[in-house]
Chains A and B, each alone.
Chain A
């Protein structure tokens, strides 16, 4: 733990006073927290607590009515998805969002799109600088493939892969963008124990080898308590706890939220 504490740096991303409503429903109500450099932050909470909405706000899919997001010191009211991606925020989705008909490699290559500088014409010609660029990006993707140990499915269409591997490919695509923050929406949902353990190891390794900051939503409390440095708990759109896994586990409000107490 002490080693991890040392590696964690300053605040990388801060959300302040975020309020998000859909019509009359308040999905998020005045939520503030920060994500520090190199940490693994888990966002937990019962169903409908606003976890996915929170990730969508950070990454610019949803625009909150109130509140600000500051990333690397720059404050903004609304983040746009492509800006977020450009600045180094990558994510995976609760329901896998890959191109099913494309191979693993091609899917991961799409994660490099933002790094491709040549225009359409150059790429169509596939010659000179465009070729060089393609090779450089392919090299990076191969490192990701090696890292995630998915060499055997490099050329397999993603739609034919089992669920656990698809999740891994999605992580690969996010990694290919060389993100500073990686947002993972239920990376382990629907997996068996073995797949979960593999995924945990990859998440820890990503954090360790690349120093990537990770914010993840997860339901499996065992996983959350094991791998995260800090936990933020949401309930009915409000933040009810924020602290180390041990502190959060002992928090009465959190226990109530999970066991159910009348509001």
Chain B
């Protein structure tokens, strides 16, 4: 359809704009960086309250020692090494070190339990693991009990591990020490090993978190990653002076491309936060120029801002409210360089001094040049909020199978409900059934040891099924509606796009998560999770006492507020003729937070809709009955792994729906 045409144009752009590459593998790029930018910072980590940094030259030395150490311990070409932990320089180095000797790094999600991990470790036939700390080492020891082929476990942080007597558990530094010794005795080894690899070789396995079924190991080559990274760098004019905070899971393709791939190609410095709790503080200290976050993080930041403004003094609240209306009116136009009335321009400039600039500073976005969001649709209001205060937030659409980029929004062409034009080098077509398909240099090699899945996802001539339903709009921008398999129909034939409705609900800071039902039903209904932080703050300000999440979620005033939110969404939906029939008639507020530990969310915190529908089957049925109350008992997993049962009587609430032609003033 419109895909191939766009593609030829963008492919030329990509080829012309991409920087000349100094190597076709990451270890080769590293050697080049050490030569050209040896004294420039390559990576930082905040430790003991101070940003510690390593130059490209130091990083090259560290990685060389580690690579030789791994080789001395028996890591061979084609072996797999697992990497698990928060973003730490040493874990990133392990990736390059493994690649230098021809081994394949397999980053693992750090908050997965031992049972989830053992599937991946066995499937990928991992021999060695680099673990961050005692917590991860313990999990690996559990995995090893059932999978003895996991030969060695290394660790970065020695705390609590002193008494682990096992000889296969070793400290990072001791591997490096052995490596330096090995290097001295085999002087040509490292350079030969690096030279032996080429772009077509496998660079990494990235296991997809899998909304359904077991995770699949996506095999990406050096060519996939390096070419895609270079295209992205050219598209957004990234350079060696950019500044990035690496805080998203290392096992996720986005982090791998932005914090690893592009750093090696463009030469910019990557910083690792002090701990997962300090990310927002570190963000503020660092002031990155290039920032990536899934919509959830932008939502969380916005929720925090709103809560803190509520707690502010009268004057501050008024000022914030006033200038936010100014920003809403003209902020995005100012950012896009479009014409704006002089009076608005002056007001916006004043607002910038009084509100927007201090707000950007508080959030750590003072130096931000480019921010991306992807992974899920972002609420248009959230998106506009950031753009209107002067942050160049853009959407991209991508997948692990594409080494990230499929479409990106070019500067100045930002439409909140689309995900932009095809990225450089990417061709897009829409299949007969509405599914989006793409072909690009980043297209994955295969799913590891899963030829059936590979064949059903990737066609013989290189087109990949995304599983998403969407269409190209008149401007040549791609618009994604939902997962192709999730888009359904109500019994009256009306379109039902659950994610679209859920996203609208989730824009309200009080609502953390929502699950919509409606496919082959008479009307649309929903589960709602309140946001403990936002609603808790409301409770505190209004002297509402509560002992637990469950109690707060059942508070009549809270239920009333949520009902108002649902009705606001209905009003919004009623404006769109295609979606007017999917207004929410009945809903309930869940008694517990949906949690990845209970399997209700994926590790990337997406709702597993069918799992939730099965688990809470009686609740779904109650939504489609005449009951106004339903009893539920749910098993839940506590953070320490113990299980308990939560019982609750949930109220089923009805929300007002609106006729399509009904004017807004009918409400209230």
Interfacial residues of chain B within 265-302, with CB under 8 A of chain A in the complex? 274-275, 277-278, 281
| Complexed CA–CA distance, A142 and B274 (Å) | 12
Task: Name which residue of chain A comes closest to B47, CB basis.
Answer: A146
Contact across chains for B278 and A152 when beta carbons are under 8 A apart: yes
Inter-chain CA distance A17–B48, complex, in Å, is: 45
Knowing A139-B48, A142-B48, A145-B49 are in contact, say whether A193-B277 is a contact too (CB < 8 A): no
Assuming A152-B275, A205-B160, A208-B163, is B48 touching A143 (CB within 8 A)?
A: yes
B residues less than 8 Å from A251 (CB atoms) = none
CB distance from A16 to the nearest CB of B (A): 34
How far is A138 from B47 in the complex, measured between Cα atoms in Å?
Answer: 13
Kindly list chain A residues whose C-beta atoms are within 8 Å of the C-beta of B50: 142
Tell me whether B20 is interfacial, beta carbon within 8 Å: no
B564 CB to nearest A CB, Å = 31
B49 touches A154 (CB 8 A): yes
Whether the Cβ atoms of A152 and B160 lie closer than 8 Å is no
- Whether, in the assembled complex, A151 has its beta carbon less than 8 Å from a beta carbon of chain B, the answer is yes
Check A151 against B277 for contact (C-beta < 8 Å): yes
Chain B residues positioned under 8 Å from A138 (CB to CB):
49
Q: Within residues 538 to 553 of chain B, which ones have a CB less than 8 A from any CB in chain A?
A: none
B49 in contact with A142 (CB, 8 Å):
yes
How far apart sit A171 and B277, CA to CA, in the bound complex (Å)?
20
A75 interface hit (Cβ, 8 Å): no
Residues of B within 8 A of A155 (CB): 281
Q: Does B640 contact A (CB under 8 A)?
A: yes
* C-alpha gap A200/B554 in the complex (Å): 34
Q: Is A194 among interface residues, defined by CB-CB distance under 8 A?
A: yes
Taking the nearest CB of chain B, how far is it from the CB of A109, in angstroms? 12
What is the bound-complex CA distance between A142 and B159, given in angstroms?
A: 15
Q: Which of B48, B274, B638 has the most CB of A within 10 A?
A: B48
Cβ of A209 and Cβ of B49 under 8 Å apart? no
**Alpha-carbon distance between A146 and B275 when the two chains are bound, in angstroms:** 9
If A151-B49, A152-B281, A209-B159 touch, whether A193 touches B275 (CB-CB below 8 Å) is no
Q: A10 an interface residue at 8 Å Cβ cutoff?
A: no
Asked whether B163 lies within 8 Å of A151 as measured between CB atoms, the reply is no
Contact pattern, A 154-194, Cβ under 8 Å of B = 1, otherwise 0? 11000000000000000000000000000000000000011
Give the distance to chain B from A150, nearest Cβ to Cβ, in Å. 9
From B160, B162, B278, contact of A151 by CB (8 A) = B278
> What is the distance, in angstroms, from A8's C-beta to the closest C-beta of chain B?
15
Interface string of B155-176 (1 = CB under 8 A from A): 0000110110000000000000
B281 to chain A: which residues have CB within 8 Å? 152, 155
Q: Taking the complex as formed, is B432 at the interface, i.e. its CB lies under 8 A from any CB of chain A?
A: no
> Chain B contacts of A205 at CB under 8 A?
159-160
B275 pairs with A151, CB closer than 8 A = yes
Q: B639 at interface (Cβ–Cβ under 8 A)?
A: yes
Is A136 an interface residue when CB atoms closer than 8 A count as contact? no
Are B640 and A193 neighbours in the complex by a CB distance under 8 Å?
yes
Is A256 part of the binding interface, using a Cβ–Cβ cutoff of 8 Å? no
Are B640 and A208 in touch, CB under 8 angstroms? no
Task: Tell me if B277 and A152 are in contact (CB < 8 A).
Answer: yes
Closest-CB distance, B636 to chain A (whole angstroms)? 14
CB–CB B48/A194 < 8 A: no
Query: How far is the CB of B309 from the nearest CB of chain A, in Å?
Result: 18
CB pair A194 B640 closer than 8 Å: yes
Is A208 touching B275 in the complex (CB atoms < 8 A)?
A: no
1/0 per residue, CB under 8 A from A, across B503-522: the answer is: 00000000000000000000
Q: Which A residues, 131 to 155, have Cβ-Cβ distances below 8 Å to chain B?
A: 138-139, 142-143, 145-147, 149, 151-152, 154-155
State how many angstroms separate the Cβ of B53 from the closest Cβ of chain A.
17
Contact yes or no, B639 A194, CB < 8 A: yes
Q: Are A194 and B638 in contact (CB under 8 A)?
A: yes
Complex formed: what's the CA distance from A149 to B135 in Å? 14
Q: Which residues of B contact A220 (CB under 8 A)?
A: none
Contacts A152-B278, A194-B639, A194-B640 aside, 13 further interface pairs with beta carbons under 8 A come to A138-B49, A139-B48, A142-B50, A146-B47, A147-B159, A151-B49, A152-B275, A193-B640, A194-B638, A205-B159, A209-B159, A209-B160, A209-B162
List A residues at the B interface (Cβ < 8 Å). 3, 138-139, 142-143, 145-147, 149, 151-152, 154-155, 193-194, 197, 205, 208-209
- Closest 9 interchain pairs by CB? A152-B277, A142-B48, A152-B278, A142-B49, A151-B274, A151-B278, A151-B275, A194-B639, A205-B160
What are 13 A-B residue pairs whose CB atoms fall within 8 Å in the complex? A138-B49, A139-B48, A146-B47, A146-B48, A147-B159, A151-B275, A151-B277, A151-B278, A152-B274, A152-B281, A154-B49, A205-B160, A209-B160
